[in-house]
Structure 1
């Protein structure tokens, strides 16, 4: 699980950080948009955008997606009256203006052809100046709609982000003071004036639209009233939902605590504190897997190779070369390791550490390498599982994990109704329940006993003196070293090296095994380096790309747009 988490984090970092490093940092401090409706049905638009840049930049962008039946023409850009170069890529306009750490104000002008729809009673300008594809926040957005000439006959409505932001002045100019608008939001504006003001525009139909606009306003007000009523209801029931689920989680934790106390009591009754390296009936790779919470990495792989040497299945000719002398192993994972290292990577029962580099240089071998590594891990896990060191309660844990789904509808409803505090509380509770279900693997008495013995060994080994070490059997010394290596326990590894250096006999061949313990130490260092390189070489490559295209238009009539920089 630990290795998986590290891999996921690395993948996300690989994908995200290159994008961040290339992005332009900016804030759009203020945007004013003035739309001047003409009597011929066209609209002259003037936009003023104030950008505050942090770092280098090349200019700003403006996406303008015309509604069906309309067209955008004559895009121009200026700064303090000075014309700027505008590059068009479909619906995207790139205004070139280089600089560093500046606040710039750029004016854009363009014409919307046939933007006014003339009906029997009124003519409307119904337009999305931005939509969900907009990639930037507008910190202070104002949209002004100007009639061809002053009038008091006006109807208007703003949708989504523009709702309830509009006001009309005495000349009929409608101001949508939208303030802060986050990226990914839309906010269409709709303003209608008497159709007689647009004598030069073609008719869009004989229907009347005043009542349609008024009905939209009434409908929106009714929706808001109903929304507020539901919001109040969920606000009242939220405490009961959250407190009730919190009590449920507390009961789960109390039951787990009670079980742990029972196991601890039984463990205290059975536990025998041994001074020597524990003998628990598990192989060294299985012991490392169990004590390492299921993780087997290249340290464990190195330890497994040394364990084959310790058990006499493999003989080392030197610190780089190993030969199989006995294939009648005790465990399946030892057979897999022998086949993998001595027959697949090595040849004819001989394995040299340099074979790893030769084998992994061929990319065709990468999948095979990872497959054998995975099969070895699975086989070690099967040995641990067969020992039944954990209570069999997968179904219970699954049920507990799935119980978090009870909160899912409430999380959605709280979010929809803007009860963000209660939504966050529900998310946290659901997350705690899921995590609890994942980690609630309860050890049996035997499992707890094995863990306690090895944990006690780690503590006592740190205080071991050379005279005590010298009294240990050669096999215990090697198992202690292999355990520390497999778990990447620096304290045990450093202590083992210190003990070897302080006992002169280990500078000579040990009389019990014929294996020099200092050579054992050198083998471990060299083998781990080679396994580490092989693992890195055979890991799948992850390639990513980034890019962007103008939005498809999520506003009314397929129109839309947004702002950005480059």
Structure 2
């Protein structure tokens, strides 16, 4: 249950506090763009952007992607009348202006050649000043389109972020008041005037276009009305949908808590504390696998070899040499380990620690090494499964996993219709249900008793005094050593070192234990050296400007 709650919190944190990807900390508080349409079809543009910086910065960026058959020329920038240096990289313009913890306003000037498309009846300025490649939020975006002269015959509308923002003035100017524009948003604007206002502009197409523009506007308005209708319906549904799944998740959590509590009560009735080292319900490798939640590493491998020595299947010939006594083992994984170490890596039933190094030094053996290790690991896991220490609740988890999929269409619909809070909650619920389905399981009474006994040992062992240690049977001492080595716990390792220091060297009984500890140290070092894997990392990058606006145009703003 703790794992489930922990992962839910992690997902929530990632969604609420996304990783910051920008190198410079800034915000664009105000943006004003004035597009002055010229009689020759060119468009003189003035942009004014107010940036608020926290920390050091080197300047701002502006990506200007022209539409097909147009061109961006004469790009300059100023601050309070003083010109600023500009560095161009394709469609990206880096405007240099160093500073620290400042609010600055930069003006950008440029001309769009052939920005106005002239037809037989109307001329249009159909332009995307930003598109989905834009990396920054605009805190308050206003775009003004100025005709060559005053006129009263105007068609104007916007799409996406510019929808329902057009306001036509008496003199023919059009103000697109967009307000907050989020990064990654498109926002095409379209303004059409009488073609006679552009006598010096080239004709784009000698055909009437006014009715097509009006029809497009009407269709857009119908689509917007339908969108708003669906948005209202979904907005009303959202609390009920979210509420149902919240109650569903709460019911599952309550069920999980009750199941866990029922097991705890049963354990309290049946539990008998071990004298010191618990009796083995299953083999030591399987016990370590259970206590380490299935983690297999060089420590568990070392402990498994030492357990073969303890049980008399293997004997130590020399300091670094072992040989098989017999292979009539209690468990399949023990037989697999003997065959692997003493015949595949070793030779004819004898295993030298140097054999392991020689074997893994050959790169051609790496794949075989890991295949054999995996075969042994799976055999240990199979032993654990036979004891039914975990109730996996497979059917219930499958039902929960499948039912969580129902949330996905709602999350998509909420997102498409800009109900972002509802979308976020739906995604969070989907993630929580999916995690619950993946991780929900609990220890059976047998598993809980086993876990509790060995946890008690882990707490008692570091505090054990010398006399109590001497009173233990030799086999109990070895099992304590093997378990602590396999668990790889710092406190238990420290206790092992303390015991080595206080044991009398000339005592025959203690010499056996000291020899055992020496074997453990040598084997552990060799397994750790051989039991390594390599990892690879990848990285990716990007380039500014997507041109996702109308006609392949677009742009965005940033800083560096």
Is the TM-score greater than 0.5? yes
Task: Give CA-to-partner distance per residue, 1:439-465, whole Å, 9 cap, x none.
Answer: 332434433332233234334445533
Contact 1:77/1:86, CA 8 A, preserved across alignment: no
1:286 is matched with: 286
Q: What residue in structure 2 maps to residue 429 of structure 1?
A: 429
Aligned match of 2:85: 84
> Where does residue 540 of structure 1 map in the other structure?
535
Q: Quote the offset at 1:315 in angstroms.
A: 4.2
Gaps of 5+ in 2: none
The TM-score with structure 1 as length reference comes to: 0.83
Distance 1:510 1:162 in 2: 89
Match of 2:509 among 501, 508, 511: 511
Range moving further from structure 2, 418-427 or 293-302: 418-427
Q: How does 1:386-535 map to 2 (within 5 A)?
A: 386-391=386-391, 393-461=393-461, 463-499=463-499, 501-502=501-502, 504-505=503-504, 507-508=505-506, 511=509, 515-517=512-514, 520-521=516-517, 524=520, 527-528=523-524, 531-535=527-531
Structure-to-structure mapping, 1:278-317, within 5 angstroms: 278-316=278-316
Classify 1:509/1:170 alpha carbon distance in 2 versus 1 (closer, same or farther; 3 Å): farther
Structure 1 window deviating more from structure 2 (182-191 vs 211-220): it is 211-220
Deviations 1:319-373 (A, max 9, x none): 6x24233361433333444455555666666656676666656655554444444
Gap change, CA 1:318 and 1:74, over 3 Å in 2 = farther
Q: CA RMSD in A?
A: 3.6
Answering whether residue 292 of structure 2 is matched by residue 323 of structure 1, we say no
Give 1:131 shift.
Answer: 0.9
Spell out the pairing of 1:48-127 with structure 2 (5 A cutoff).
48-54=48-54, 57-79=57-79, 80-82=81-83, 84-89=85-90, 91-97=91-97, 104-127=104-127
TM-score by length of 2: 0.84
CA contact (8 A) 1:327 1:335 kept: no
2:223 aligns to what SS in structure 1? helix
Cα deviation code 1:144-170 (max 9, x no counterpart): 212112223222112111122333334
1:218 positional shift: 4.0
Taking the TM superposition and a 5 Å limit, the aligned residue runs for 1:178-217 are 178-217=178-217
In structure 2, the CA distance between the partners of 1:534 and 1:168, relative to structure 1 (3 Å rule), is: farther
Q: Deviations over 1:91-111 (max 9, x none)?
A: 333445556655554443332
Q: CA deviation at 1:399?
A: 1.8
Which stretch has the larger CA shift, 58-67 or 150-159?
58-67
Q: Residue 40 of structure 1: CA displacement?
A: 1.2
* TM superposition shift of 1:288: 0.9
Q: State the shift of 1:285 in Å.
A: 1.4
Counterpart in 1 of 2:241? 241
Q: CA deviation at 1:438?
A: 2.5
- Supply the distance in 1 between the matched residues of 2:272 and 2:355 (Cα, whole angstroms): 45
Segment of structure 1 superposing worse, 139-148 or 251-260: 251-260
**Residue of structure 1 in register with 2:274 after alignment:** 274
1:529 is displaced (CA, Å) by 5.1
**Which consecutive unaligned segments of at least 5 residues does structure 1 have?**
none
